[in-house]
Amino acid sequence: MDSSHAYSIEDWLVHTSFGIGQIKGIEEKSISGANVQYFKIQATESTFWIPVDRVNSEELRPLSTSLELQLAIAILLRSPKAMASDHKMRKSDIRRIQLLNTPEDMARLIRDLRARQRERGELGQEELNAMRALKQRLVEEWSVITGEKKDQVALRIDELLDNQRLSAEK
């Protein structure tokens, strides 16, 4: 993904911590006596501000393209990969994927965590929280890209993961 992107009001962004949001304006705020311009970004359940001069940071990226979304969907249908047996390694992998913040990486981790959940019957709380958060982020981004309702997208992701499992069992 191109990290040198010029953003405008009404553009959609994806932040590694705050998720999907749309730029609603530019506001100047005085921080420690210095005036700094911020993008005001409206997310589903919150508003966050990113300094205009930091929009090219690794924490922020533009909304994915339809092609990138299609790649993520294809990944959901592929056979899952076994995750590390060591909890600390899995935790490190999860954190790395969260920082990468791409639909393809999110889809891969969702798929692999779902397979681990089916195999073991449950996930640790951290893994379960990560899977839920990544799925929610993928649902929101997919919804913005396609215009589909979030609940329909969530069902579609579950269907893709179930179809992938059924294909693997045949």
User: pLDDT per residue over 81-107, tens digit each?
Assistant: 999 999 999 999 999 998 888 999 999
Classify residue 110 as exposed, middle or buried by CB count within 10 Å of its CB (0-12, 13-18, 19+): buried
Q: What is the pLDDT of residue 3?
A: 42
| Statement: residue 61 has pLDDT above 80 | yes
Alpha carbons 36 and 55: distance in angstroms, whole number: 13
The CATH number that applies at residue 28 is 2.40.10.170
pLDDT value of position 58: 77
Question: Residue 91 domain-assigned?
Answer: yes
- What are the structure tokens assigned to 3, written together? 């990290």
Please report the DSSP string for 28-80 in residue order.
EEEETTEEEEEEEEEESS-EEEEEGGGTTSTTEEEPPPHHHHHHHHHHHHSPP
Does the pLDDT value for residue 121 go beyond 90?
Answer: no
Q: Determine, yes or no, domain membership for 70.
A: yes
SS3 9: coil
Predicted local distance difference test score (pLDDT) of residue 165: 55
Count of domains forming the chain? 2
**pTM: predicted TM-score of the whole model, two decimal places:** 0.83
Domain range for 85 is: 66-169
